[in-house]
Chains A and B, each alone.
Chain A
Amino acid sequence: MNNANLAVRFLAVAVLALAAGCAGEAEGLQISDARVGAPTGPNAAMYFTAKGAAEADSLRSASTDVAGEIQIHETVTSDEGTMSMRSVPRLELPAGGQLVLEPGGYHLMLIEVDELEVGDTISVTLTWEVAGEMTVEAEVVDPSDTMGEESEDTEDH
């Protein structure tokens, strides 16, 4: 009786937690907002948000037919405000959390990228430690549109 009661409560909490955690009906690793800045030089940067994975995962590599190579990069801002890029071996996605690639932070750098126009869509294969290979479609956007929604006006300068 007591045990059953506890089990029901546990279940209810678990369901609630799941609903809150997933914020949707989808299960498993989901990629959203995949976008690539239209190339302005030999390289282009791709961004996306990954979430929904029940267990922690990590992005190990990526590839595409439209670029010679894809590297995982981080843009680092120094105390003086100078910025530089460095290559990182992997990106961690916490269990139940999210991994955000966005300008000024992490990006996938498409090296020796083909000519792409705004509005094009490219296919990129992401290789995750746990989820394995997953192909996503990314839209080519104007570089000024890579920053995402202008909703949070909590940018601190």
Chain B
Amino acid sequence: MFRRGGVLVLVAALTLAACQSAVSTGDLQGVAIDNPSEKGSFVLTDTEGESYDFVASTEGKLTLLYFGYLQCPDICPVHLAQIAEVLGQDAELARKTEVVFVSVDPDRDTPEAIREFLDRFDPSFVGLTGTHDELKVAQEAVGVPPARIFGEGDDYTVDHAGWVIAYAPDGLSYSIYPFGTRQSEWNNDLQILAKIGEGQSS
């Protein structure tokens, strides 16, 4: 049932991609964005300590952007594991995709710890960090409510956006993925999104 639907969707997406600009986002199962939004511009630091310009580094790629933190055992790993599972089964798709995880907990999450965390899912996932101010700017730039920290001492918790923002290769976001997104929805949507505006930038 799912599989047959998926094949049909894939065929439809391929057909549409062949017609260039005629792209149907109607088959996406994520939460649709009424007016597809452009990437917000921000610069943070990656796990190698290098400056990472989000717009420039992800140009022409299917880009999945997520703000989380390492001591989040409940929802953050689920999103990342689901994405890793889809990409792990499709090397071509993985090659065209950039997964960007931004830690919003710079006081606890060192670049080394972020790298180690992401390597458990996929070593190609990009991990970013910055100062509290830089992170706030980045979150506002992409229209996400900035994470807030509750509690005192070491025992604090972080209130952060629970959804993943997807940008198609054309640089626009057509859909977001709240917590609760199913594996089948990821499988479906990443295939479709990867073909929107594919090849336009090169």
Contacts and interface: CB of A to CB of B under 8 A. Distances in A.
Contacts of B120: 38, 40
Interface stretch (B8-16, B43-51, B71-79): B71-79
B178 interface: yes
A38 B77 CA distance: 9
Interface string B76-104: 11101110110000000000000000000
Contacts of A109: 73-74
Given A81-B178, A143-B81, A157-B178, A37 B160 contact: no
A40 B108 CA distance: 15
B142 interface: no
Given A82-B145, A157-B31, A37 B73 contact: yes
B155 to A, nearest CB: 9
Interface residues of A, number: 34
Given A43-B73, A155-B180, A157-B180, A143 B162 contact: no
Nearest to A104: B179
Contacts of A103: 74-75, 78, 179
Contacts of B162: 77, 81-83
B17 interface: no
A139 to B, nearest CB: 16
Interface string B135-175: 00000000001011010000001111111000000000000
Contact of A42 (B71, B75, B160, B182): B71
Contacts of B150: 84
A3 interface: no
Interface in A22-38: 37-38
A104 B74 contact: yes
B71, B75, B145, B183: most-surrounded residue (chain A CB, <10 A): B75
A77, A83, A107: most-surrounded residue (chain B CB, <10 A): A83
A90 interface: no
A75 interface: yes
A106 B180 CA distance: 14
Interface in B107-128: 113, 117, 120-121
A78, A146, A153, A157: most-surrounded residue (chain B CB, <10 A): A157
B81, B85, B163: most-surrounded residue (chain A CB, <10 A): B81
11 contacts: A40-B77, A43-B71, A45-B74, A80-B145, A82-B145, A84-B160, A107-B74, A110-B73, A143-B81, A153-B182, A155-B182
The 5 closest A-B pairs by CB, nearest first: A143-B77, A144-B81, A84-B159, A83-B162, A143-B81
Interface of B: 30-31, 70-78, 80-82, 84-85, 113, 117, 120-121, 145, 147-148, 150, 157-163, 178-184
